[in-house]
Chains A and B, each alone.
Chain A
Amino acid sequence: MADIDADALEREPLNDTLITGKATYRSLEDQITNMVFNQRTHPQSWLFIFVVGFLLLNLLMMAMTWLLYKGVGVWGINIPCAWGFDIINFVWWIGIGHAGTLISAILLLLRQQWRNSINRFAEAMTLFAVACAGIYPLFHTGRPWVAFYWLGPIGPNILGLWPQFRSPLVWDVFAVSTYASVSLMFWFVGLIPDLATLRDKTDNKALKVLFGMIAMGWRGSARHWERYETAYLILAGLSTPLVLSVHTIVSFDFAVGIVPGWHTTIFPPYFVAGAVYAGFAMVLTLAIPIRAWYGLKNQITMRHLDWMAKVMLTTGLIVFYGYIMEVFYGWYSGNRFEWAMILNRFKGPYAIFYWALIACNGVIPQVLWNPKWRRNLVVLFFVSQVVSIGMWLERYIIIPVSLTRDFLPSSWGYYTPSVWDFGMFAGTIGLFICLMFLFIRFMPIINIFEMKDLLSRIHHARHAADDHNHTDVDGTHAPVTGTLVSAEE
């Protein structure tokens, strides 16, 4: 059955093989479905992390209940700084979600087949991150049960008014809810053939019915695959501008305002790059432990991690360029409020956060230039954590620093988050962990049919290479190559 070359896994060599060891369609499938069918494969660490997540989730419930009982005054927000942790965390979570869409949609359009083994759980990560993000603006309204009338297109509110369609905040509602819906559909469409595989593999009657219902009678007909592939490709084509528009619109929440530090045209591209940066950090944070715990090192190889690290490094440089441009703009605009804001970032009351941001997002990730460090999983995991913190600090710098020191000194203030702010933040991390770990336990975390497709393509590429003067296939030219042995013969 699973015929995997154990020696090759020990050393984890970096080559251009996207599936290492010997693999067959059956062995790839068994490896992934085993995580669903054989619940004993899940290690103790699964339970430990899930319990931590579940406790934090309960903290979220407490924080939200207290908030609804008492009002938004339990948070640290005040009048110059009415956007505190809510918007910081909202933007942070939404940004994390973007890597999932980038991997599933943009890399599909660019025919990057290394996405096949990471797209499923990256898409799940997107969904769960968007769920966490959505909580913040909704509860920031204080009365979420009527917020739909203020924000959504479902009719005039109690004052007879419609949402203000000239406001970026309303654009944001449309962008984020469309993003959540389209991400869910994309993820579900990808799951249908895999659920059919689960249905056909299980002997358990109840599970067969359950998977059968969700797979909706998928039977893998060539005519179905034809429409499926067309629809999937076009969905990817739709998700690509969507993901760019979502974070662009999130940045419009700031850039359309006239507050110093927000009113710059660099915001949309620099927010999108920052989103992908934080998202890849989160994908790495999840992928590094998961592939070790579940023996998936042959499907999520060092090559995958290396490429993800490179994407992170590239987007990090774009973000760092954004920071430099912000400073340049503050000086070159000749606007005294802009320049005062820059100086305030450098040496004002929040200066320590600013320099921590520069260290986390600008300086420390540069270690990834060195291939040796990039391929060291401890270093890579550490850098991913640093980037996650850095991207959170970035939003902290953008929001309270600008809001508490705007045009008039008489309206200056200071922002201190309350314990409930931290409770809610920790709580959404708990929600994310719970959802993610339930997903790992009960769903195929790697796209089974795409991995089989990839195996078939690798097999073909290898045969083509054998026919062609017996030269080795150069990894930089062919999309999939390498020393893989498909044991189909």
Chain B
Amino acid sequence: MNSQSNSSIYGLVAEFDDPDKILEAVTKMKAAGYRQIDAYSPFPIHGMTDALDCHDPKVPWLIFIMGIAGTFAGYSLEYMTSTPVLDHLPRFIRLLPGVNEMSYPMNIGGRPFHSWPNFIPVAFETTILFAALGAVVGMLLLNGLPRPHHPIFNAPRFELASQDKFILCVEAADPNFSYEDTWQFLQSLGPDIVSEVER
């Protein structure tokens, strides 16, 4: 069984009924040298990020970059359509389709073409819009979602992981993984059930 385990199964799962128990179990697994482990829970467990050491700084950075892009997009839209800046471009660029239509500056009450205080509200809104899009789309893509199927769904009673059970999974890909030893180790952590997950 041990010899075929790494190829035919995804991993082993242990089911707990309390967030504290799974947090303790994860800490012990980490201490025992397991790396390819994950915890599935119906709500975020306080302290689990530290226990699994899975902090991902990419999301805030992505949001920040998207926000800057939004400011730039909004402000440059206003700048290019409200000022004669495009008139200074070389003729062959101005004659490209769409470019000439961009520029139609209007003199309204003698205000300067580049009346930057009036351009702030729109640039602010596009900043928020782009950053929020970055937050939602970035979070989903970094999480690998949408993904309709994943081997963990083969775990027995996995549907309870979105209800009131907390499931710890050790993947067979873990270098320390060995079917019997890992099974024994999971049993020693005091779960309700230990079971295997088919690939």
Contacts and interface: CB of A to CB of B under 8 A. Distances in A.
A169 to B, nearest CB: 11
B59 A166 contact: no
Given A175-B125, A453-B44, A238 B149 contact: no
Interface in A204-242: 212-213, 216-231, 234-235, 238-239, 241-242
Interface residues of A, number: 66
A238 B101 CA distance: 33
B52 interface: yes
Contacts of A217: 145-150
A456 B122 contact: no
Nearest to A195: B162
Interface in B101-144: 101-102, 104, 106, 108, 111, 115, 118-119, 121-122, 124-126, 128-129, 131-133, 135-136, 138-140, 142-143
Interface string B22-45: 000010000000000011111111
A223 B43 contact: no
B121 A249 contact: yes
A222 B17 contact: no
Interface string B11-27: 00000011100000010
B101 A156 contact: yes
A185 B132 contact: yes
Contact of A245 (B74, B118, B124): B124
A29 interface: yes
A162 B77 CA distance: 10
Given A26-B163, A249-B121, A164 B108 contact: yes
Contacts of B145: 216-218, 224
Interface of B: 17-19, 26, 38-46, 48-49, 52, 54-56, 59-60, 63, 74, 77-78, 81-82, 101-102, 104, 106, 108, 111, 115, 118-119, 121-122, 124-126, 128-129, 131-133, 135-136, 138-140, 142-143, 145-150, 152-153, 158-164
19 contacts: A25-B42, A25-B163, A153-B77, A156-B104, A166-B111, A200-B162, A216-B147, A217-B145, A218-B145, A219-B158, A224-B145, A228-B44, A234-B63, A241-B124, A241-B128, A242-B125, A449-B43, A452-B43, A488-B17
